[in-house]
Chains A and B, each alone.
Chain A
């Protein structure tokens, strides 16, 4: 919202106040002011009132005229002017030689063979409005040659308050509310708003009015006739323009002026169209043409102003085209009302039509404003159009009154909340200046909240603290640390495990951490031929590509791998993030935190890469939990996974997740030659696994004996279980040292390491154990290779 300092100065004496410092203070104490401050009129000088004494056609141009103008000096000035509205006797704004208009300095100028010694200006050229159809006409009775800055409020400081920072302050949506803040900040008095006394019309008839819906809180109206003025006073138009509004006609401008001044939106109807004002909603949807000419769909939740049963305006949003003031309108009805804030907000967002009025109504306006705004309207109207007649008494239905808010608190409450000492006098003065009623007795305060702050903004003691401290100034606070007993801060395993795993992957294995989005990358996955797993969807995704929440991170990560295939011949990526695995029984999302790792290699065969990934996983589990892993073949219907190489990962009896090889059809789409493997484990399950810790074993005192045995087998698991079955304490270590394939099939060479804690072993006792293992495997049909 744009604020004019001249307008503020109507209500607060700003003489001697450093206005730039004041704006800064306002930003620190009330609401955010945008950085750019506009010094209106600062680039305008040397423009005076002139009268056109003669007008001649330009011999060579149809558009141009040759004028002689009187600027109150000895001789007339020759001017070449292109405006269509020039006429003898007209007074206009004239930029003399040497005048400054924005970047331009006026100098003698040749125009089609004639020299112009100055320029007649339009309001737009002067920056006073967007009126550019002709040169400005001056009606004021002033001496020719008078600087226009002496007759109009052209010099002004205009600043913009960020609307978002006014969300909770319905009282700051007009200049008068801002003026109250400014008066408080510079310790000056706030002048009352000049208003008309409406009681003189009490004998006139009332308007037929009935609120038939609780969404209308208050409706006040008044009828007028005989309005003769059509164009608003220049100063009014300048203010409207400086504050971002176009001048339309006197009546419309005046409703806008009151809105910008008091924050109360108003609307004027042609009285013939609102003989029986009814405020209500309709049972059925219909279409309605607003005064901007747009046909709008109105539903049964939208509150309407009606003439009996015909809608004439959308309450709080915009008037209808049919009830607009037209050429032959002789009587008009002025509306000043309050509506339910959220109803206006919902309607305006449903209609996708946000107006200056609805923007204000959404903030919960003070219903006390409606009548005051009419009083103010009548005052200004009659000041500028003395022939106006009021033809009704004030008609006012006040259906919903807010409760009066009174708050009680002690000085100690303020001390505790602020942590500093603010005197009772400061508290009283601040609150009084802001319009609060304050009584104080023995450090005990009773505060009446003014109506303009009591619609929702100030309801609690804590709200009063804000009023006191923001005016006190946060820069003036002494700052202090807290005092509290000392307690240990325990690490939160769910967090520390994440970090531990990241360190292992980055530092030990050179993997890269990436981030991806929480939804399935629909388009990218389709390109790789990955089916999107059915899962919960976003209701309001703007883009179907991000609609489905991911059930697994693997497909997204494969898409990311795809975009990195030229990064390196070998690389691995990982992410710890969340997926939604369908819904729980209570209907809430089953959210799970996962670790997903993908390895990509153009140099290694897929089996080697798969072992690499298993090694990484073992390393994580060994570091984090000092446990080992087991794998169990798993089945899957997911089409991006190799059907024969997909394993469930088990650790200490807990199923952590799955490890697998990417299905060749998908893998080839990522890269024709690369091997790609992945794993995904549940971090919470990893956290739940028991940490076995480090159990120290002394270094061997006696020599160990290694025995290598080779079995013809394509799987290691039976060998491992045979070793387990013999259950010999002398076996200290087992390792696969070689696998190879020849005419007899796949073979695995196992190295068994034996040791006795108290003596040197003999070859015979070692071989006895080895023979047992061989025998067990032979029974299962697994032969030892000679």
Chain B
């Protein structure tokens, strides 16, 4: 009987040493250990043996069975290793230096600059408003203390429409509506009016690299009981430092705008030379950035707010100019060109 066992063992060893696929191993497993496998058959032959013989033979077959299971398992593992090795080797090293070509969308640069500014003002408690582009003479001029034939209208070449309306020449055209919208909350609940209103403005002028008839501004107002010039300077300095993400110096000069009194031109220290003077600030160390001022009492009154009780300040930021400064856009006309070759660079800028 033991010869049979030894024979089976060497037969198994021989077969296992020749296999190269898992299927062959499975066949071997069935041939030896399956229901009718040769090792299982050996156990079936034990019927005619004496109890002693049964015991020693049974033990020997079980040892063989254990050996066979282990040998098969080892062989499977060995084959899996080879297979994995083959799989790993089949994939070459991938060259990541090849340029990728994911198609990405893009925002208009004005959107990016506008979002940045809006975030700054939102954190300081300002509402963000939207306003129409076609406005009335009242909204754009009369309500802003610019009566008909006022010389200040010289400063704006306005696009007039056939029905007497006009394309707003400045975002200040929204001021009156903003005051009327929030005055009740101001007067009854003591909520200060803090709002910004970005928007598109239009001026009737011929275009070149520095001039556009269509551009974006962002106006801001703040009205409360004791808003002072000191507050105005503080807010302008703080907000502009946030917008430009550096600690700015600001400087106010008198400026004439009929809807503010006093009115100012605000200069910021030149970012390029830090105030030393360079060609971009015409050697003055300062860049004229935005007009601002204390809201004219007539303008508050027209908005339903008593100028003897409330004061406020207003400012106007040129978003188009900010975008050009920020991204180094040299020709303002690029912005409305719709030219994707230049515009697709503005993927995002948070």
CA distance A460 to B299 in the complex (A): 13
Q: Of A482, A536, A563, which is within 8 A of B224 by CB?
A: A482
Cβ of B40 within 8 Å of any chain A Cβ, yes or no, is no
Q: Would you call B73 an interface residue if the criterion is a C-beta within 8 Å of the partner chain's C-beta atoms? A: no
- Are A510 and B253 interface neighbours, CB within 8 A? no
Closest Cβ–Cβ distance, residue A359 to chain B (whole Å): 10
Check B253–A32 contact: CB distance below 8 A.
yes
CB 8 Å contact bits of A24-50 with B (1 = contact, 0 = none): 000111111001000000000000000
Is the CB–CB distance between A540 and B159 below 8 Å? yes
B256 near A167: Cβ-Cβ < 8 Å: yes
Question: Complex: how many Å from CA A469 to CA B262?
Answer: 9
Contact residues in A for B130 (Cβ distance below 8 Å):
492, 494-495, 498, 593
Residues of B within 8 A of A32 (CB): 253, 255, 265
Q: Which residue of A lies closest to B336 (CB)?
A: A515
Bound-state Cα–Cα, A462 to B307, Å: 10
Contacts of B204 in A (CB 8 A): 540-542
Q: Could you tell me if A485 and B282 are in contact, using CB atoms closer than 8 angstroms?
A: no
Task: Give the shortest distance, in Å, between A263 (CB) and chain B (any CB).
Answer: 15
**Among the listed stretches A197-205, A232-240, A411-419, which one makes contact with chain B, having 4 or more residues with CB under 8 Å of it?**
A411-419
Binds A, one of B47-55, B89-97, B229-237: B229-237
Selected from A470, A540, A591, the residue in CB contact (under 8 A) with B254 is A470
Contact B108 A466 (CB under 8 A): no
B141 adjacent to chain A (CB < 8 Å): no
Binds A, one of B28-36, B80-88, B240-248, B338-346: B338-346
Q: Which one of B8-16, B63-71, B162-170 is at the interface? A: B162-170
Pair A482/B161 contact, Cβ less than 8 Å: no
Identify A480's interface contact among B103, B230, B344, CB under 8 A: B230
Q: Report the minimal beta-carbon distance from A94 to chain B, rounded to whole angstroms.
A: 37
| Nearest CB in chain A: distance from B218 CB, A | 12
Stretch of B17-25, B121-129, B268-276 that contacts chain A:
B121-129
In residues 487-530 of chain A, which contact B (Cβ within 8 Å)? 487, 489-492, 494-495, 498-499, 502, 505-507, 509-518
Interface string of A163-204 (1 = CB under 8 A from B): 011011100000000000000000000000000000000000
Q: Would you call A502 and B254 a contact (CB within 8 A)?
A: no
CB-CB < 8 A to B339: which residues of A?
563-564
CB closest residue in chain A, given B160: A539
Does A417 contact B105, Cβ atoms closer than 8 Å? no
B227 at the interface (CB under 8 A from A): yes
Size category of the B interface is 35 or more
B317 is an interface residue with CB less than 8 A from chain A: no
Which residues from chain B contact A591 at a C-beta distance below 8 Å?
A: 132-134
Please determine whether A513 and B127 come into contact, CB atoms closer than 8 angstroms: no
A400 sits at the interface (CB 8 A): no
Shortest distance from the beta carbon of A129 to any chain B beta carbon, whole Å: 29
A38 to B190: give the CA distance in the assembly, Å: 54
A465 neighbours in B (Cβ, 8 Å): 229, 261-262, 294
Instruction: Tell me whether A478 and B340 are in contact in the complex, defined as CB-CB below 8 angstroms, given that A538-B159, A538-B160, A538-B161 are known contacts.
Output: no
Residues 349-387 of A contacting B (Cβ, < 8 Å): 362-363
A516 to B212, CA, bound (A): 12
Complex Cα distance A27/B348, Å?
40
Chain A nearest CB: distance from B136 CB in Å?
7
Q: Report the separation of the CA atoms of residues A482 and B126 in the bound assembly, to the nearest whole angstrom.
A: 13
* A354 to B103 CA separation, bound complex (whole angstroms): 56
A28 with B253, Cβ < 8 A, contacts A167-B152, A512-B340 known = yes
A511 with B152, Cβ < 8 A, contacts A35-B284, A165-B256, A538-B161 known:
no
**A514 contact set on B, CB distance < 8 A:** 108, 338, 340, 343
List B contacts of A28 (CB < 8 A): 251-253
Decide if A150 is an interface residue (CB 8 Å cutoff): no
Question: Which of these, A164, A485, A495, A539, contacts B162 with CB under 8 Å?
Answer: A539
Closest CB in chain B relative to A25 CB, distance in Å: 11
A418-B228, A478-B230, A541-B159 are known contacts. Are A517 and B336 too (CB-CB below 8 A)? yes
A482 touches B297 (CB 8 A): no
Docked complex: B172-191 residues within 8 A CB-CB of A: 189-191
The complex places the Cα of A35 from the Cα of B122 at a distance, in Å, of: 37
Interface stretch of the complex, out of A74-82, A580-588, A666-674: A580-588
- Is B229 a contact of A418 with CB atoms below 8 Å? yes
Please report the C-alpha to C-alpha distance between residue A417 and residue B122 in the assembled complex, in whole angstroms: 26
Establish whether residues A518 and B338, one from each chain, have CB atoms under 8 Å apart when the complex forms.
Answer: no
A466-B254, A482-B222, A542-B206 in contact; A589/B161 too (CB < 8 A)?
A: yes
Q: Is the C-beta of A104 less than 8 angstroms from some C-beta in chain B? A: no
Instruction: Tell me how far the C-beta of A468 lies from the nearest C-beta in chain B, rounded to whole angstroms.
Output: 9
Is B6 part of the binding interface, using a Cβ–Cβ cutoff of 8 Å?
A: no
A571–B243 CA distance with the chains assembled, in angstroms: 33
Query: In the complex, are the beta carbons of A492 and B127 less than 8 A apart?
Result: yes
Say yes or no: A567 contacts B341, CB within 8 Å.
yes
Asked if B117 is an interface residue, CB under 8 A from chain A, the answer is no
Q: Chain B contacts of A575 at CB under 8 A? A: 108
Q: Which of A32, A557, A575 neighbours the largest number of chain B CB atoms within 10 Å of its CB?
A: A32
- Specify the chain A residue showing the minimal Cβ separation from B261: A462
Taking the closest CB of chain B, its distance from the CB of A453, in whole angstroms, is: 14
Does A560 lie at the interface of the complex (its beta carbon under 8 Å from any beta carbon of B)? yes
Task: Determine which of B149, B161, B283 lies in contact with A536 in the assembled complex, contact meaning CB atoms within 8 Å.
Answer: B161
Shortest distance in angstroms between A467's beta carbon and chain B's nearest beta carbon?
9
List 18 contacting pairs A-B, 8 Å CB cutoff, sorted by A. Answer: A32-B255, A164-B155, A362-B151, A416-B228, A417-B229, A485-B190, A498-B130, A513-B108, A538-B159, A538-B161, A539-B162, A541-B204, A563-B337, A568-B103, A568-B340, A577-B200, A578-B133, A588-B136
What is A's interface to B at a CB cutoff of 8 Å?
Answer: 27-32, 35, 164-165, 167-169, 341-342, 345-346, 362-363, 416-420, 460-463, 465-466, 469-470, 474-475, 477-482, 484-487, 489-492, 494-495, 498-499, 502, 505-507, 509-518, 536-542, 546, 549, 557, 559-560, 563-564, 567-568, 570-571, 573, 575, 577-578, 580, 583, 587-589, 591, 593
Excluding A474-B229, A539-B162, 19 further A-B contacts by CB distance (< 8 Å) are A363-B151, A462-B262, A465-B261, A466-B261, A469-B262, A479-B237, A480-B231, A492-B127, A492-B128, A513-B108, A514-B338, A517-B213, A517-B336, A536-B163, A539-B161, A549-B161, A564-B339, A567-B340, A587-B163
Which B residues lie at the A interface, using CB under 8 A? 103-108, 110-111, 115, 122, 125-130, 132-134, 136, 149-152, 154-155, 159-165, 167, 189-192, 194, 200, 202, 204, 206, 213-214, 222, 224, 226-231, 233-235, 237-238, 251-256, 258, 261-265, 282-284, 294, 296-298, 307, 311, 335-341, 343-344, 347-348
Q: Top 9 A-B pairs ranked by shortest CB distance?
A: A419-B228, A419-B230, A560-B338, A466-B262, A506-B105, A342-B149, A474-B252, A479-B234, A510-B105
